[in-house]
């Protein structure tokens, strides 16, 4: 196997980094008073303040103008259609360069792979309806969210209670969605609801997807869910109180909603894994630099074997994750079944980032715990990533099932 990247992919990653270095990071620096602290980033309800939303929109639109925002969108949707190998390379490079907690970079320069931007889920929307919305989404002007999980339905999506009941040419949606990323700010939501509860109870379909305008009567986001010590964020609760959606706004066939929802899950998991890889490399760089300059007992701490072992363990973790990610991306691009591999990559890379961030904090001593170095932010991010897009246990369940049915092809 040869994972040498083609020159075009290398050039694209360099162009994205140039954009971030020349335009986005300087913009962020100019607005440091606003963006540098969560006390000014969020309002009392935990939502981004309007000025921050405007800056994020400005960066999205500029990224779209330059062709970056839609790089990984399906060609059928008018996106760049770049494959998994290109995607993981760009995500790794970007996260390695910027590190964690950059409010104008992460999920802004490039959207989260299937929950925003030119999501593969949009391929299931009626082409005439899509035509009305596509340009707004592709230009970064409008954003999306993906509403599958509920208070009583996360790993087991069939446990959802949100109902969609047909009424003539319309569907009436009622229920509550929880943990929905970008829901407090999204213009449109891809919402999944029960249309046949009996079929869903037998895990045989019964769920249907809908494209919903978040300004529709009955649609509200009553609260933001703050996690891991943050003062705000982008994950919210959606309440659907008799929201009317025309049938033409359905996503895919009636009863096939979970298949629609899972379309793009590979891209999401690979994108997350590659971001974790980039952040782990960033954290190891910080630890290496610090270990060379910080002295104890008359020598740089890099000379202590205990520190060297932590550096080496992190390098092993990163190398293993990188090899898995590259191999899996190559499998996906060459059309090989990779269900077990994608689950291994997602679980391993997110857990790997936790270990690497932890060691980097340890190497920094007390400095590692300060907010300024962003290591503790990276540590919290790593802990969070083990839950969404399938928990570590759900990934292991998938891997084991693939092994037990002889499909893992290791
Ligand atoms: C930051 C963040 C962003 C998110 N964004 C979105 C989003 O945009 N859209 C969306 O729809 N959802 C989103 N989610 C929801 C996410 O997908 C769920 O939290 C996740 O699937 C887990 O579901 P749960 O929280 O209900 O946990 P549960 O499913 O209740 O699981 C609880 C525990 O039991 C374990 N478990 C469950 N079933 C099994 C089993 N069969 N075998 C072994 N262990 C099991 C789990 O691994 C976990 O440890 C987000 C979550 C977070 C934290």
Ligand 1 atom showing the smallest separation from residue 156 Cα: 29
In a domain, 61, yes or no: yes
pLDDT tens for 198-234 read 999 999 999 999 999 999 999 999 999 999 989 999 9
In a domain, 400, yes or no: yes
Return d(Cα 381, Cα 231) in angstroms, integer: 14
- Counting residues of the chain whose pLDDT is more than 90, the rounded percentage is 96
Ligand 1 atom showing the smallest separation from residue 233 Cα: 1
Ligand 1 atom showing the smallest separation from residue 112 Cα: 8
Q: Give the pLDDT confidence score for residue 114 in this predicted structure.
A: 87
Domain that holds residue 340: 264-404
pLDDT category of residue 19 using cuts at 50, 70 and 90: very high
In a domain, 175, yes or no: yes
**Is there a single domain that holds both residue 365 and residue 238?**
no
Euclidean distance between the first and the last CA atom of the chain, given in angstroms as a whole number: 15
The mean predicted confidence, pLDDT, of the chain is: 97
pLDDT mean over 176-201: 97
Q: Give the pLDDT confidence score for residue 264 in this predicted structure.
A: 84
**Is there a single domain that holds both residue 151 and residue 248?**
yes
**Is there a single domain that holds both residue 275 and residue 376?**
yes
**Is there a single domain that holds both residue 174 and residue 223?**
yes
pLDDT tens for 264-304 read 888 999 999 999 999 999 999 999 999 999 999 999 999 99
Ligand 1 atom showing the smallest separation from residue 148 Cα: 11
In a domain, 384, yes or no: yes
In a domain, 120, yes or no: no
Whether 1 shows a pLDDT value over 90: the answer reads no
pLDDT tens for 101-147 read 899 999 999 999 889 999 999 999 999 999 999 999 999 999 999 99
In a domain, 250, yes or no: yes
- Name every protein residue with a CB atom under 6 angstroms from any ligand 1 atom: 115, 146-149, 154-155, 179-181, 227, 235, 384, 387-388, 391, 393-394, 397
Q: Give the pLDDT confidence score for residue 307 in this predicted structure.
A: 98
In a domain, 206, yes or no: yes
3-state helix, strand, coil in the chain (%, to 5): 50, 15, 30
Determine the Cα angle at 229 with ends 224 and 232, to 5°.
30
Domain boundary at 255, 279, 306, which?
Answer: 255
Instruction: Rounding to the nearest 10 degrees, give the CA dihedral for residues 142, 388, 153, 204.
Output: 90
Which residue's CA is the nearest one to ligand 1's atom 24? 154
- Probe residue for ligand 1, chosen from 391, 396, 401 as the CB with the greatest number of ligand atoms within 8 Å: 391
**Is there a single domain that holds both residue 73 and residue 194?**
no
**Is there a single domain that holds both residue 387 and residue 358?**
yes
Residues 6 or more apart from 315 whose CB is under 8 A from it?
A: 284
Measured in Å, residue 235 CA sits from the centre of ligand 1 at: 13
pLDDT mean over 392-397: 98
Ligand 1 atom showing the smallest separation from residue 392 Cα: 47
Measured in Å, residue 268 CA sits from the centre of ligand 1 at: 15
Return d(Cα 87, Cα 105) in angstroms, integer: 16
Tally of helices (H runs) and strands (E runs) in the chain: 14, 10
- Probe residue for ligand 1, chosen from 388, 389, 400 as the CB with the greatest number of ligand atoms within 8 Å: 388
Which residue's CA is the nearest one to ligand 1's atom 29? 155
pLDDT mean over 63-71: 97
Residues 6 or more apart from 321 whose CB is under 8 A from it?
A: 273, 276, 277, 280, 345, 348, 349, 352
Q: Domains in the chain: how many in total?
A: 3
CA within 13 Å, CB half, 179: 15
Q: Where are the beta strands (DSSP E) in 264-348?
A: 295-296, 299-300
Which residue's CA is the nearest one to ligand 1's atom 38? 155
| Alpha helices in 70-126, H assignment, sequence order | 84-98
When mean pLDDT is compared across 47-51, 111-115, 236-240, the lowest value belongs to: 111-115
């Amino acid at each position: 196997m040869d994972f040498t990247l083609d020159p075009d992919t290398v050039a694209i990653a360099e162009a994205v980094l140039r954009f971030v270095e020349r335009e986005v990071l300087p913009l962020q620096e100019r607005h440091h008073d606003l963006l540098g602290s969560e006390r000014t980033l969020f309002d009392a309800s935990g939502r981004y303040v309007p000025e921050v939303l405007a800056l994020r929109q400005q960066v999205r639109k500029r990224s779209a103008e330059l062709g970056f925002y839609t790089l990984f969108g399906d060609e059928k949707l008018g996106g760049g259609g770049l494959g998994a190998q290109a995607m993981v390379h760009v995500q790794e490079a970007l996260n390695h360069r910027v590190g964690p907690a950059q409010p104008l970079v992460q999920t802004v320069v490039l959207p989260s792979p299937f929950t925003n931007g030119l999501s593969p889920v949009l391929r299931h929307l009626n082409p005439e309806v899509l035509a009305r919305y596509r340009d707004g989404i592709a230009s970064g002007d409008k954003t999306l969210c993906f509403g599958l999980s509920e208070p009583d339905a996360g790993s087991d999506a069939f446990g959802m209670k949100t109902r969609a009941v047909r009424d003539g040419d319309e569907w009436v949606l009622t229920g509550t969605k929880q943990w929905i990323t970008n829901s407090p700010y999204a213009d449109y939501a891809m919402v999944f609801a029960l249309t046949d509860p009996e079929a869903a109870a037998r895990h045989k379909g019964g769920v249907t997807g809908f494209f919903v305008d978040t300004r529709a009567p009955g649609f509200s986001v009553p609260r933001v869910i703050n996690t891991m010590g943050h003062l705000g964020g982008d994950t919210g609760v959606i309440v659907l109180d008799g929201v009317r959606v025309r049938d033409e706004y359905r996503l895919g066939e009636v009863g096939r909603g979970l298949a629609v929802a899972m379309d793009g899950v590979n891209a999401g998991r690979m994108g997350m894994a590659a971001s974790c890889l980039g952040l782990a490399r960033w954290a190891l760089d910080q630890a290496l630099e610090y270990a060379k300059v910080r002295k104890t007992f008359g020598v740089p701490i890099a000379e202590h074997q205990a520190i060297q072992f932590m550096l080496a363990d992190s390098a092993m973790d990163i190398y293993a994750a990188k090899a898995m990610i590259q191999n899996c991306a190559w499998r996906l691009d060459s059309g090989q079944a990779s269900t077990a591999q994608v689950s291994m990559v997602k679980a391993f890379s997110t857990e790997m980032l936790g270990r690497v961030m932890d060691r980097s904090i340890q190497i920094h001593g007390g400095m590692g715990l300060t907010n300024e170095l962003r290591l503790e932010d990276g540590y919290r991010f790593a802990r969070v990533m083990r839950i969404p897009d399938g928990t570590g246990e759900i990934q292991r369940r998938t891997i084991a099932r693939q092994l037990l049915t002889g499909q893992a092809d290791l």
